[in-house]
Amino acid sequence: MPPATTALGHRTSRALGTFATLLTTEAAALERAHALLTAELLAVDAACSRFRRSAELWRVNHAKGRPVRVSSLLGEALTVALAAARLTDGDVDPTCGTSLVRLGYDRDFARARRHTSTLRQPASPAPGWRSVEFDPALGEVRVPAGTVLDLGATAKALAADRAATAIAAELGCGVLVNLGGDIRVAGPAPCGGWGVGIADDVSFDGEPGAGGDHAVMIHTGGLATSGTAVRSWRRGGVQLHHIIVPATGLPARSCWRAVSVAAATCTDANTASTAAILRSERATAWLAGLGLPARLVRHDGTVEIVAGWPSSPSASLAGNLADAH
């Protein structure tokens, strides 16, 4: 019998520069689940942060073109990031770190957004994901001197996938992990599924409440929302955000303010939602072709849904989750 929703454990904390919400189908499992989640997020941050001098990725970005041995965790994160670039024809490109630095996102976001002076350097196109040399067998990566990798959203989505599946396997309960809108569920779902509220226009530090502009029920897989208001900042009177067009090094000027996608994993969902922002009007046909349920919101609030995303509030996405591969 599915677990009752009345037994849910719940905790929200800060991690990876955003909020981390954890739900378990058994309240008694919450403390152990939270310890497992915390350990996973600390490990991901130590591997994938481009701001911490002690992080592996920082060493890769500052190796001046020399090859660097990396851990299996950073190797997995690199594999995921390069796969996202390949599957989106280069739209979701991990070499956009250089572009973000030029736009002022050159330190932890909470600190970077406090600087509002005019930018001193022009935009910088991304060198391109094919410039990254990664040998999984050797666990060795090399990027050209001056290239800055930013694993950003794909690493956060991977963390949600890894944490949720590890907690469900270790504790045998159902679990939902939400890292700033990157959601993964694993194990047995509550009766009726996991209720997820989706906000269409959340800015940085906008912590999720019980509601949202839209709500769905999910039973398995991943769900991600990407938007131009999240991680946005102003420099010299110009509004900027973190979803970068690799060819220009500038923030995407999309017809969508937010895109939510459901997929087999959070990593796949995040890759698709980010690419949809970048593809603008072309996104609906692309998502429909992949069979990925999605909800796309224009700047005027108009909503479009594709590939079986439910049209009624709080409807279920069960059975509609697809694999972006």
Stretch 44-70: mean pLDDT, rounded? 95
Partners of 262 in the β-ladder: 223
CA separation for the pair 310, 197 (Å, rounded)? 13
Q: What pLDDT was estimated at residue 234? A: 63
| Secondary structure letter of residue 311 according to DSSP | S
pLDDT at 321 over 90: no
pLDDT at 2 over 70: no
What pLDDT digit, counting tens, does each position of 192-202 carry? 899 998 877 65
What pLDDT digit, counting tens, does each position of 236-267 carry? 766 666 788 999 988 889 999 999 999 999 99
Q: What pLDDT was estimated at residue 62? A: 96
Asked, for residue 1, whether it belongs to a domain, the answer is: no
Looking up tokens 């991943």 gives: 222
Stretch 161-180: mean pLDDT, rounded? 97
Higher per-residue pLDDT: 42 or 51: 42
Q: What pLDDT was estimated at residue 215? A: 86
Q: What pLDDT was estimated at residue 208? A: 43
pLDDT at 6 over 80: no
- Cβ proximity of 208 and 179 under 8 Å: no
Ranking 63-77, 92-106, 153-167, 176-190 by mean pLDDT, the lowest is: 92-106
Domains held by the chain: number: 1
The alpha helices in 49-129, defined as continuous H runs, are 56-61, 72-87, 97-102, 109-112
Sort strands 238-241 and 194-198 into parallel, antiparallel or unpaired. Answer: unpaired
Q: What are phi and psi of 39, to 5 degrees?
A: -60, -40
Q: What pLDDT was estimated at residue 325? A: 30
Higher per-residue pLDDT: 319 or 243: 243
Tokens of 98: 């250089």
Ranking 28-32, 120-124, 214-218 by mean pLDDT, the lowest is: 120-124
pLDDT at 324 over 70: no
Stretch 139-162: mean pLDDT, rounded? 95
What pLDDT digit, counting tens, does each position of 273-318 carry? 999 999 999 999 999 999 999 999 999 999 999 999 987 755 666 4
CATH code of the domain covering residue 129:
3.10.520.10
pTM assigned to the model: 0.89
Q: How much of the chain, in percent, has pLDDT values that exceed 70?
A: 82
Q: What pLDDT was estimated at residue 211? A: 46
pLDDT at 176 over 80: yes
Q: What pLDDT was estimated at residue 235? A: 66
Rg (CA), the chain: 19
CA separation for the pair 166, 96 (Å, rounded)? 30
Please, how many CA atoms are within 13 Å of residue 262, restricted to the half-sphere of its CB? 27
Asked, for residue 63, whether it belongs to a domain, the answer is: yes
Residue 285 is part of which domain span?
7-325
What's the one-letter identity of residue 8? Answer: L
Asked, for residue 139, whether it belongs to a domain, the answer is: yes
The mean of the pLDDT values for the chain is 86
Asked, for residue 2, whether it belongs to a domain, the answer is: no
Q: Where are the beta strands (DSSP E) in the chain?
A: 9-15, 18-24, 68-69, 133-135, 140-142, 175-179, 182-186, 194-198, 214-218, 221-227, 232-235, 238-241, 244-245, 250-251, 256-263, 294-298, 303-306, 315-316
CA-based nearest residue to 321, from 269, 270, 267, 262: 262
Q: What pLDDT was estimated at residue 110? A: 62
Asked, for residue 133, whether it belongs to a domain, the answer is: yes
Asked, for residue 135, whether it belongs to a domain, the answer is: yes
Q: What are phi and psi of 9, to 5 degrees?
A: -95, 150
